[in-house]
């Protein structure tokens, strides 16, 4: 029996980690998971030991001369995803477990494609290579305005979160375009935390109980 693969996507500050916390508590008592299936939480970048090293290189460079160029950044994200899929996600799915990850291939197209302006066809090709054409069963897009994102991310911002408004605007447009193209389920992330959580649970129960 193959497991289920769920992804939370969205710009920084949209509440992905918070809502993933809620799902980890809810899924085991939801009645949706088959007996014997386990629930695995993970993230990108940083879902493996190697990924944690890459995460530091990408988000917290130690000096200005260690900041990756745009193409280097893209390839590092692709490397992180390849390791993540091969070492964590696919083995879990093959065991029949359920996997929920914070970010997946959509983020790479939004940030490196729309944000950095790198070739979209190249990024889609790298997606296929890195994931061996693994696609999520469900992607929840937590949609948030840039104004609210900026308000929520005032402190503790990493290198990507600290990019200028023009970059972040392109990324936000990317998520919107990709979400429509790939049939993501849009969730209004500007609502109260409990409201967002309730909406996500309602949507997932409807989709997964069919």
172-209 pLDDT tens trace: 999 999 999 999 999 999 999 999 999 999 999 999 99
- Tracing tokens 């993540």 back to the chain, one arrives at 84
DSSP bridge partners of 19: none
- Banded pLDDT at 161 (limits 50, 70, 90): low
Q: Where are the beta strands (DSSP E) in the chain?
A: 5-9, 39-43, 98-102, 138-143, 185-188
108-137: b (≥16 Cβ within 10 Å) or e: bbbbbbbbbebeeeebeebbeebbeebebe
CATH of the domain at 147: 3.40.50.300
pLDDT higher than threshold 70 for residue 153 = yes
Phi-psi group of 138: left, alpha or beta (phi > 0 → left; psi -120 to 50 → alpha; rest → beta): beta
pLDDT of 4: 97
Query: What was the pLDDT predicted at 170?
Result: 97
Mean pLDDT of 148-156: 75
Give 69-84 pLDDT, tens digit per residue: 999 999 999 999 999 9
The tally of domains found in the chain comes to: 1
pLDDT band with cut points at 50, 70 and 90 for residue 155: low
Is it the case that residue 65 has pLDDT exceeding 80? no
One-character DSSP codes across 171-188: HHHHHHHHHHHHTPEEEE
Q: How confident is the model at residue 160 (pLDDT cuts 50, 70, 90)?
A: confident
The CA distance from 68 to 86, in Å, is 24
Domain that holds residue 103: 5-208
Which of these ranges, 21-25, 60-64, 81-85, 102-106, has the smallest mean pLDDT? 60-64
pLDDT for 90: 98
């Amino acid at each position: 029996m193959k497991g289920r693969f769920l992804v939370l996507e969205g710009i920084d500050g949209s509440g992905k980690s918070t809502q993933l916390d809620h799902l980890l508590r809810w899924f085991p008592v939801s009645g949706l998971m088959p007996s014997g299936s386990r629930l695995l939480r993970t993230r990108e970048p940083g879902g493996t030991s190697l990924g944690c090293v890459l995460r530091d290189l990408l988000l917290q460079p130690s000096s200005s001369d260690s900041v990756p160029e745009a193409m280097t950044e893209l390839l590092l994200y692709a490397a992180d995803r390849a390791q993540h899929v091969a070492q964590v996600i696919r083995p879990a799915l093959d065991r029949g477990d359920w996997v929920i990850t914070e970010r997946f291939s959509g983020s790479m197209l939004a940030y490196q494609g729309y944000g950095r302006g790198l070739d979209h066809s190249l990024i889609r090709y790298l997606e296929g290579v890195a994931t061996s054409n693994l696609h999520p069963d469900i992607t929840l897009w937590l949609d948030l305005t840039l104004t609210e994102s900026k308000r929520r991310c005032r402190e503790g911002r990493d290198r990507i979160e600290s990019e200028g408004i023009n970059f972040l605007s392109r990324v936000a447009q990317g998520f919107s375009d990709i979400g429509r193209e790939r049939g993501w389920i849009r969730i209004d992330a500007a609502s109260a935390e409990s409201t967002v959580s309730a909406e996500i649970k309602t949507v997932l129960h409807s989709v997964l109980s069919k």
